[in-house]
Structure 1
Amino acid sequence: MKKLVFLGLTACFMYAGELDVTIKPVNNEIYKNECGSCHFAYPAGLLPSSAWNKMMSNLSNHFGDDASVDKKTFQTLSSYLNENSAEKSMNYKRSRKIVENLNGTIPDSISKMPYIKKKHKEIKENLITQKEVKGLFNCTACHKNAEKGIFSEEDVNIPNYGKWEKDD
């Protein structure tokens, strides 16, 4: 009986943990410092390695900016992104869903990911494009614990709207 109770509690904690931390948080200081100096340091599990490689191959024109880095930093960033990409982070709910919804595409950005677009389809466009949010790329505008890897619907607070309540 004790084993059964213990296994049940373990399963509950594992499930609860998945609900809270839906993607592996960034744990690489070089990545945080280099990429996070200009924008939110997106968790690597938000994109497949093919998309990260595509992005890294054109750092001189990174969404209109030159984000070039020296060779050693480039290798560090590329290794980190590839080792923690969506397909290598399948034990996290969001990464798993991202991979399941790729449909053979190699997206140019996180905001163009089929899964990300699907998750935000119920939100009115004016809430996404307002100046406080700017677009789907600005995760931290609404996901207050994004840096901790928490992207659950329960954690969303949209500027000029409030806590997100999904319509039933």
Structure 2
Amino acid sequence: MMIRRLLAHACLSFVALVPGAAALAQIAMPVAELGAGMYRIEAEVAHTFEMRQVGLMNREAMALHRGMVFVFPEDARHCMWMRNTFLPLSVAFLDAEARIINIEDMQPQTETSHCAAAPARFALEMNIGWFAERGIQAGDVLRGFAALPPAR
């Protein structure tokens, strides 16, 4: 038991002392089942400030049916970027009723801003081309968003 405490303390000390180490550590996020047309999505839920800041950074692969949904505390023209993100992604911005506002493709390790075309409550990141390959587009309503935890 004492060894576990010492190891935990050492890990926390490392994260506190090494710049950027906190961003390298992945935060455990809840997973929600969402739907788009006939397609099922397993989405990690980034509903806290810390989770939204880390997002999909430092990941090298993501399963085809997996994604990450960002839950924002207010409707706004939120923007995403790809700093420290190694996967090419498509992001769908959605309003409070889970209707897709717009979809943007994002290239890895760039700082270009990709923004919602209108006030959005959610952003859903999937592997690049996922939405286009399935004919999912602006105006479509997705399922499962009402059951997501509220933003904090």
Q: Fold match, TM over 0.5?
A: no
TM-score, normalised on structure 1?
Answer: 0.25
Higher-strand-fraction structure: 2
Kindly name which structure, 1 or 2, has the bigger radius of gyration based on alpha carbons: 1
